[in-house]
């Protein structure tokens, strides 16, 4: 179940990102190691996360996911390795929140897409999910909260 979507303006913010392209069937195997790698690089730079981790999907997933595993940080950094320092730009987004486990993400994105279409809005090809509450903080999937964000174009 998703909350009623809303349109909001976001600010820009620096983040650390690891680009991943993986088959849908491998998502569960790649996510844990990827997020641990990003957190380790952030710590190695002497930085702390400035919010919950998120995934930036460069396009809507098909049988292949093409995305970045990201951690927001307080200051931009340059990295010569696999983890890139980037800045998320300010933008206008349609935002909602999914209550429950990750198996509902596909349907939640469909609901958000339908709501955006009803508003007569157009979207960018990329989208992102912010993992506000997940298995790392609650064993009960009913407690999990995933924020869905999709840039709307003016």
Check the CA dihedral 33-126-65-129 and report its sign: positive
Which CATH topology does 6-153 take? Multidrug-efflux Transporter 1 Regulator Bmrr; Chain A (3.20.80)
Q: From first to last of its 154 residues, what are the pLDDT tens digits of the chain?
A: 799 999 999 999 999 999 999 999 998 899 999 999 999 999 998 999 999 999 999 988 888 999 999 999 998 888 778 999 999 999 999 999 999 999 999 999 999 999 999 999 999 999 999 999 998 889 999 999 999 999 999 8
Cα separation, 71 vs 99, in Å, equals 21
pLDDT, one tens digit per residue, over 69-89 is 999 999 888 877 899 999 999
User: pTM, whole model, 2 decimals?
Assistant: 0.91
What does DSSP assign to residue 62? S
Any idea where the domains of the chain sit in the sequence? Answer: 6-153
């Amino acid at each position: 179940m998703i909350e009623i979507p809303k349109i909001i303006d976001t600010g820009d913010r620096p983040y650390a990102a690891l680009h991943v392209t993986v088959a849908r069937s491998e998502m569960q195997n790649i996510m844990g190691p990827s997020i641990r790698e990003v957190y380790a690089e952030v710590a190695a730079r002497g930085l702390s996360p400035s919010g919950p981790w998120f995934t930036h999907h460069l396009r809507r997933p098909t049988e292949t996911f093409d995305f970045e595993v990201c951690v927001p940080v307080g200051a931009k950094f340059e990295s010569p390795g696999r983890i890139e320092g980037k800045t998320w730009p300010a933008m206008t987004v349609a935002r909602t929140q999914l209550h429950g486990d990750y198996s509902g993400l596909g349907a939640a994105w469909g609901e958000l897409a339908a709501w955006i279409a009803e508003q007569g809005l157009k979207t960018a090809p990329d989208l992102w999910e912010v993992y506000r509450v997940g298995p790392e903080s609650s064993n009960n999937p009913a407690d999990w909260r995933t924020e869905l964000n999709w840039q709307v174009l003016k």
